[in-house]
Structure 1
Amino acid sequence: MYELNESSFDPITFVLTGIPGMEECHVWISVPFCLMYLTAVFSNSVLLFVISTDRSLHEPMHLFLAMLAVSDLMLSTTTVPKMLAIFWFSAREISFDACITQMFFTHSFIVESSVLLAMAFDRYVAVCDPLRYPSVLTPSVIGKIAVAAVLRGFCIMFPPIFLLKRLPYCGHNVMPHTYCEHMGIARLACADIRANVWYGLTTALLSSGLDVVLIAASYALILRAVFRLPTPEARLKTLSTCGSHLCVILMFYVPAFFSFLTHRFGHHIPSHVHILLANLYVVVPPMLNPIVYGVRTRQIRERVLRLLCPTAEWPCPGCWGRC
């Protein structure tokens, strides 16, 4: 192990302990996490393949879904392999630079939050102003939204690198977690970390927090427009088109904000509960997002079934039996 001193730029090796208090169960815990990760990688890869190869799916909502799949793959692949290495091989050491890099990509949830906001805007235009939908969400606009989401995430996550590198780490190198994140690293420093605390809180409120407010406003306008439709059938059909997006939003933001708030204010919550939920957050939404969209979105469901069952006649309500 590297020798530590007062300089914040000297090489440091951190030790990730896994889930505190549950070390004896690490092997058993690893099984569902491994299965969920493999499912997430497979389902998101299939989704990306289907959307990229079928030109009829090159529509705004499906392109946003492809961006969401890329973000999910980045989030889970950055964290879960190291988590499994800790559980299976006790490979707990991680260098300071590798830890910073993992932290940077782990916070790709900021990009995902931007994509979810763009998807809410897409649904708002589709429901409240459908005649202008093709002219508002053009391929050029979608490309600009993708670039803006990436740049936004980069600009928010770049300063913490310097906020952490300026801190001295005087021998404190044990991190009770399975992956590196901003405040977990900062708490190992032997210096004042108020700048890190306020930066993390401010950016969370002004990025994901603002996104939640705007998404809620979008759906309030959508619901108002839906309840003005003349027939119950029209209302139900319109709501069903937004149902999958609402499911994804809840799966993403509920555990994200719970993990964020308990990490800063929930000191009475046992650490193993917080760490376990934080681990579930990086693998459950990436696993469920493509499944939810695959089940609820007819075009994607048909393309996936056609991929899995190429010899069936389409449309084919009895395809599962024939396959």
Structure 2
Amino acid sequence: VELLFFNREGFYDKLQADMAAGSSAFDVNLVATYSLGRYAPYMEPVDLGADAAKIFGESVLKTMQFDGKQYGVPTDLSLHFMYYRKDLIDALIRDDAARKTYGEIARKYLGKPLQPKDPDSWTWDDWAATALYFTKQVNPDSPVRYGTVLQMKNLLFNMMVFQSLPRSYGGDWMDKDGNVTVDSDAYKTGLELYKKLYDAGSSPKDSLSYEYAETNAAFASGQAATALQWNAAAADLTSTEKSPAVAEVTGIVAPPAGPDGRADHIHGLGLGLNKNAKNKEGAVKFLKWLATEDAALLYARSGGSPALSPDVVAKVAKERPDLVKLGEFASKYGYVMT
């Protein structure tokens, strides 16, 4: 299999243009839950076999379905993790003087007398207070320079990271009648919180141009206390080879809670068959192989993020505990925006 790479920015527009033009430069193409309908007219459905449901589960297979037809094999499930430095949070909670400083910072910037707590119990305000405490510009005694890393490049994928915040405050893109509803208290709350953190120096000044790769690099440098980031980063951020500064002290929880509880954006990524493929027989054979347990486990062990059934994920739980969390968070907090 030969891979063809394009820029992340504008990728889906280029793919649609190529497929609409009848390109046969590729046999298999990337698809995503949120854009599958754009490509289905230029693709052929695929039969992945009866065992696919046992490996991925029906709900995951549906992320690659359109009009009741299977258009792809679900290679990855995407949602967000809150990554945090266990060593820093543990030290903060144990230190009376540090907790006092934390409370003063929370009152000054957020108007609330907050205290440090276990990240798995964070509200968005708790996260913001923690990020402010670990910001050198706010707290000169902070052991790291930044409290968090905000992905703020004007990019669809960055909006996906952001939207769990307003969602947990009851926000959505549209109402039941299709009217756009981003001019809401939920979205204003989220934007104001991001702006407060950025203005205070909690995120690097150049994070206005950050997306996935820059966020990984900033957190892996050991100079940030938290990062709301895609689950796909877990394999790298917990690898002693790729991220030696933070690998052994990185904790993972679901995104913080708002008044409506926790919310975690979810979508599937996969591979499907180009209608104009030159090598359809080989392409179908490859897609069917990707839907086998052997391929799914190989992909999981190689750093992919497949959503696997409990029986299958148990076979890689020790090597990839993040995949267990992936399934747990998806079932408890996962949502798809209207």
TM range (shorter): under 0.3
More helix by share: 1
Using the size of structure 2 for normalisation, the TM-score is 0.26
